[in-house]
Structure 1
C-alpha cells in the first residue's frame, strides 16, 4: 500500500478508536542523547533507577526494538466529559480547601496505560489487516521510550518549558502512546514552539522543580514525590505539597494554552467517586481493602495503601497548619490522624507524627 494512503487510513482508524491525533517520527534521536545523559548525570531522575538502567537506549528505538523503521505516535485527550468551563480556576480553588484531597486530573478515572494499550493494539491489528503481518511493538509509558521527544518530532506539539508536550489545539491535557513499526512511513512535520517569554509554569511550581526551561528535577516534583518516591518524603518538601495527595497539575493549570484542552469522549476518564471533592479525613479512613476496591483498574493502586496514607498524612498536617487553633474543622482531622498514630507501617507512623506536630 502507498505509504501516504496507509497513513491516511491509520489516522481514520485511530479517530474511530478515540485518538485525537496521529503522527510519525523517524528513529534518529541522536541529537537528544546529550540532554538525556546530562539529566541522568545530574541525578534529576531521583530513585527512578530504571531511567539510568536503560541509559541511552531510550534515544535509540532500533536498539529497543530491532527492525524499527518508523514510530507512530498517538495523542488521546483525557479531560473528563463533564469538565466545566473555567476548570483551571476551579482546580486552583481546590487548593484553598485545606480539608479536601486533590488527586491529579489524569488519575481520577481508569488507568490510562490500560486504555491506550488496548486501543493501540486494536490500531496495529487494523494495520495488519491492511498490509499483512509486520513487525511492531506498542508502548504506553511502559518502556525506555523518549515519548515527549518522539511526539514533538512527529508534530504532536512542542516541548513546553515544563518539559510536557504542548499543542495549540489541545494544550497539554493528553496522553501519548507509540507503535514502533518496521514499515517506512512518511514522517509528519514538527511544529514550532509557542511559549515565547512566558514562564508561568516555572513560577507556579510549588517546589520549584522546574529548575530552568526544559529542565525538571524530578526529585522536587510533587508528582514524583507522591507517586514514584517509595520512602519518607523530604521534610523540606512536605509543607509545599499543600493538599495534593496524588500528582500535581499546577504547571498545566496555569498554562495559557490549556484553555484549548479538549474533553475526552471516553467514559474511561470520568472521575470515580471519592477522587474529586472528597475530604482528607474520609480518604485517610480508607482501609486497605477499601483502597484496593476503589482504585481497581486505576493508576492510584500502583502506589499501595501505605504510600496513599503517607501522602494524605502530609496533607492533613498542612491543613492543620493552615487553620487557626480554634477552628472547629481541626477536630475531624486530628481524630483521623490519631486513628493511624500506631499504624503497623513505620512510613505511615512517621508522617502521621509529623502531621500531628504541625
Structure 2
C-alpha cells in the first residue's frame, strides 16, 4: 500500500528531523495508539527495523539443524526474514500490534475427554489472518492519510519475524517455549505488523521475565524443546498435526492424545496467564461446535462436510484428509472400543493417508484376534505400499 511522498521527505526516513517534526511524529504516535485500540488491537508498539540482530543468529542455527522440518518456506531466502530491511529496504519503523485471544476456559481440560477432540484455542474461531489483516489495512490507510508515507502490512504470511520484533517494540518477550509472553495478556496474543517509511518514536524493548520457570518445557508431550528458547518443530504436536503432510511418525502417536489440531500445553501452563483476561473479539471466540467436538462425528466428515464445518477457520487449510488422519490418531488414543467402528469404516477411504491412520487406530482398540483377522483380509486388498506397511508394523 503506498501513499503520496511529495512534501514529506522530512517525515519519511530522514535522520535529521527538526524539533517541530519530532513533536509531530510524537503526536502521530499517540494518535496511532488510540486509532489502533479503536480498531480492536489490544497493544501497539514501534521498533526500529535493525533491532533483531540477535534473533538472526538463532534463526540461522534453527535452520542449520533442520529443526524446521518440512517447512521449506522458512528456509527460502532466510536473509529476508532475518532483517526487515531485507524484505523492504525503505522501512524506517516497524509497528507491531497484538490482539488478545485468551480463552474463557482452561484449554487443557479437554485433554481428559478422550472421546472428544482438542482443537488449539487459536483455531476455534474465524481465521485470525483474515480478521487481523483487515484491521491492519484500515490502520495503515489511516496512517497514510494522517501523515503521507509508504506502508506494508503483514500478518504471519510473509518473511517477518513477528515475535522478536514484538519484543523489540515492547509488546512482550519470547519465552522459553519460543512464543511471545506478555505481562498483561500472557501467552495469548495474535501479532500483526505494519512497516512504514515514517521515523516514528520507538518503544522500549521488553526484557525477559521467565526467570527460573520452566513449566512450558516440562509439560511438552513430545519433548520438542531440546533447550530453553529452542524448539525442534519436528517433534512439536502443532507441526505434526498441521504442517506435516504425511503419516504422523509412530514414535509420537501415543503422545498426541486427543489433540487433533495444534497443541496449547506450553502456552496454557505459563504462569503469566494468571494476569490475562479472555479475549473480547467475538470473531476470534470459540465456536460452540469446535470447543469439544465428538471424534465419532468428525470421523464421518467427507470433504464437503469438512469445508462446511470449518468455513472461515484456519483448520480448513490442512484439508479433510490430514484432519481425519489426526482424528483417527485421537481415536486410537481414546481407549474406547466403541469408536472402533468409526475407524473401521475408514479402511476403505479414498485417501491412503486416512486408511493408514485407520489401521493404527484399530490396532489400539480391537482385540488382537479381531485385528489380525482384519489384517489378513484388508492388507491383501490394499494397493498403497505405505498403508500395507502400517498393517505389517502393527500385526
2:337 corresponding residue in structure 1: 330
CA distance in 2 between partners of 1:249 and 1:294 (Å): 21
Secondary structure of 2:250's aligned partner = coil
- Quick check: 309-318 or 269-278, which moved more? 269-278
Which secondary structure state, in structure 1, belongs to the residue aligned with residue 153 of structure 2? Answer: strand
Q: Which runs of 4+ in 1 moved over 6 A?
A: none
1:24 paired residue among 46, 52, 60: 46
Which residue pairs with 1:215 in the alignment? Answer: 230
Instruction: For residue 176 of structure 1, give the secondary structure of its aligned residue in structure 2.
Output: strand
User: For 1:262 and 1:47, how far apart are their aligned partners in 2?
Assistant: 35
Following superposition of structure 1 onto structure 2, how do residues 261-272 of structure 1 map, counting pairs within 5 Å?
Answer: 261-272=276-287
> In the aligned structure 2, how far is the partner of 1:65 from the partner of 1:103?
36
Partner of 2:76: 53
Are residue 95 (structure 1) and residue 111 (structure 2) matched? yes
Structure 1 residues 62-89: Cα deviation after superposition (integer angstroms, max 9, x where no partner): 1211211110000100135xx2xxx23x
In 2, Cα distance between the equivalents of 1:273 and 1:93? Answer: 15
Equivalent-residue separation in structure 2 for 1:273 and 1:202 (angstroms): 30
Aligned residue-pair number:
341
Distance 2:112 2:314 in 1: 25
Structure 2 distance, partners of 1:181, 1:129, is 13
The CA distance in 1 between the partners of 2:279 and 2:185, in whole Å, is 11
- For residues 267-321 of structure 1, give each alpha carbon's deviation from its aligned partner in whole angstroms, at most 9, with x where no partner exists: 101222421122111111122111101111110000000001000010000113x
CA distance in 2, matches of 1:260, 1:115: 25
What is aligned with 1:108? 124
Structure 2 match to 1:260:
275
Helix, strand or coil at the partner of 1:23: strand
User: In the alignment, does 2:175 pair up with 1:169?
Assistant: no
1:72-114 per-residue CA deviation (whole Å, 9 max, x = no partner) reads 000100135xx2xxx23xx322211110100001100000000
* Structure 1 contact 37–56 (Cα < 8 Å) conserved: no
> What is the CA-CA distance between 1:21 and the residue it aligns to?
0.7
Q: Distance in 1 between matches of 2:56 and 2:124?
A: 34
The aligned residue for residue 10 of structure 1 is: 32
| Distance apart, 1:30 and its partner CA | 2.5
Contact 2:121 2:264 in 1 (8 A): yes
Over residues 121-157 of structure 1, what are the superposed CA-to-partner deviations in whole Å (9 max), with x where a residue is unaligned?
A: 000111112112x211100000011110000011001
Q: Using structure 2 for the length normalisation, give the TM-score.
A: 0.84
User: Structure 1 residue 351 and structure 2 residue 357: aligned?
Assistant: yes
Q: CA deviation at 1:210?
A: 1.3
**Equivalent-residue separation in structure 2 for 1:290 and 1:79 (angstroms):** 28
1:79 aligns with 2:120: no
| Alpha-carbon separation, structure 2, partners of 1:55 and 1:31 | 14
Greater Cα shift, 222-231 or 54-63: 54-63
- Secondary structure (helix, strand or coil) at the match of 1:9 reads helix
Deviation at 1:186, TM superposition (A): 1.2
Kindly indicate whether the alpha-carbon contact (under 8 Å) linking 1:79 and 1:269 is maintained by their aligned counterparts in 2. Answer: no
Rounded to whole Å, the distance in 2 between the matches of 1:103 and 1:344 is: 25
